[in-house]
Structure 1
């Protein structure tokens, strides 16, 4: 799809800690339009944790948003994701470029997950 910039070439902010407050503050800087989505998912995770008696929904919430922030805080990575998502949404599924785009999306999320340790 696109060439990959070097690591940390265009980071907007440092990697935040994996706490709700740290992730929210980071998201406010790199993708403020997603704050309502994050808040809604946090509330769902809390409700699921209470209902199930497990903290796993909260851990999943924190892990997912750490990945989203990791992607958004790097301009090159965010651009790669936007480009791949656009291709995946507009190309025919039989087009080899569609498969390439979906592989790129998976790779971006896998890279971000590895970068944040989870």
Structure 2
């Protein structure tokens, strides 16, 4: 028997929607993405300072709350991996499989966004 979650389960509980909680959660479930998160956070801070608005920081938080939601849920991460695998196998945008994979990626992101927004 494996140590991972059952199909459809969660790797960890949903973290609070704060920068530190999201970073700690990501470190547990997808540590290979921490550098990406940090780079985007630094870009958001620079944009916020440049334009004197918190909008970029809110945007960063929304993106990473969604990303952590996908990474922590077996069902969403499996669906995203399958869609990305399809995209890597076909480069023809007219291929119905390409369009279906893009639609699935959008559906995964939408479901994760609803989950962290509600």
TM-score after normalising by structure 2: 0.89
User: Which residue does the alignment assign to 2:100?
Assistant: 100
Distance 2:86 2:62 in 1: 26
Distance 2:112 2:74 in 1: 13
| Higher RCO by CA contacts (8 Å cutoff, separation 6 or greater) | 1
- What does residue range 103-114 of structure 1 map to in structure 2 within 5 Å? 103-114=103-114
What secondary structure, in the 3-state scheme, does the structure 1 residue paired with 2:53 have? coil
Distance 1:34 1:114 in 2: 22
Q: CA deviation at 1:17?
A: 1.1
Q: CA deviation at 1:89?
A: 2.5
Q: CA deviation at 1:96?
A: 0.8
Aligned residues: 111
Distance 1:110 1:89 in 2: 22
Distance 2:87 2:106 in 1: 12
Q: Indicate the RMSD between aligned Cα atoms, in angstroms.
A: 1.3
Distance 2:105 2:49 in 1: 33
Structure 1 alignment gaps of length 5 or more: 1-7
User: Which residue does the alignment assign to 1:37?
Assistant: 36
TM-score after normalising by structure 1: 0.89
Runs of 4+ residues over 6 Å off in structure 1? none
Distance 2:107 2:62 in 1: 17
Structure 2 alignment gaps of length 5 or more: 1-6
